[in-house]
Amino acid sequence: MSESEYQTVVQLLPRLRRFAYGLCGSMEAAEDLVQEACTRLLASAGDKEGYLDRWLFRTIRNLHVDGLRSRQVSERYRHRLVQAENDQRVGSRHTEASIELDEVRALMQQLPPEQREVLLLIGVEGFSYRECSRMLDLPIGTVTSRVARARRQLVRWMTSDPKDDEP
């Protein structure tokens, strides 16, 4: 039983980290979220067979939201987010490819959080509208319109002329 739970978590791990990274925009903070979700899984009772994936994604999302809202969550997490923001301001010493990916991540962070989480779950992780609405406790209609608004906004931003064209 726990072996299969373990296998599921290991298999999900890359996606969980991608989701956490998309939510908070900082790799270190994302690692904290995933680590904390796994620790909570370890501490939680009951078999989650059949919905472990939804449980983990939901836990990561709730930890992130709590981290922004309440004092209960570690200062370290908030510190990481502030640090990541500062790092982005320092500017870039990366390759072209990674600058471009930085831009996409920055645009994702500019989306309202409620649109961003839905886009990540549906557009990036491939969950259905129903699964997403269950994970976030939202009506399907809300999920549907949020994913559409998020994509439309990103299309606008991504197709606008880049400011930093070079010869």
Partner 1 sequence: MNEERDRTPCDALSVEDGLRLNAYLDGELDGDEPDRVERWIREDPEAAACLELLRGVDSRCREALDEAFHRPVDPGLGATLEQIRQRQEGTVPVPDHRGGTWWRPLGALAAGVLLLAVGYGLGVTTTTSRFDARLAAAEASRAEARSALARALEYTPSGTTVNWASSRYNASAELQPVRTLKMGDDRYCREYRETLVIDGVREERRGLSCRLGRERWQTRLIIPEKKGNELF
Using CB under 8 A as the binding rule, the residues of this chain from 122 to 161 that contact partner 1 are 122-126, 128-129, 144-145, 147-148, 151-152, 154-161
Q: Do residues 56 and 8 touch, judged by C-beta distance below 8 A?
A: no
Shortest distance, position 92 Cβ to partner 1, whole Å? 13
Q: Is residue 50 left, alpha or beta, with left meaning phi > 0 and alpha meaning psi from -120 to 50?
A: left
According to the binding rule CB under 8 A, does residue 92 interact with partner 1? no
Closest CA to 56 of 27, 14, 115: 14
Enumerate residues 6+ apart whose C-beta is below 8 A from 83: 26, 28
Where does this chain bind partner 1 (CB under 8 A)?
1-3, 5-6, 9-11, 13-15, 17-18, 20-22, 27, 30-31, 34-36, 38-44, 72-74, 96-97, 100-102, 104-105, 108, 119-120, 122-126, 128-129, 144-145, 147-148, 151-152, 154-162, 165-167
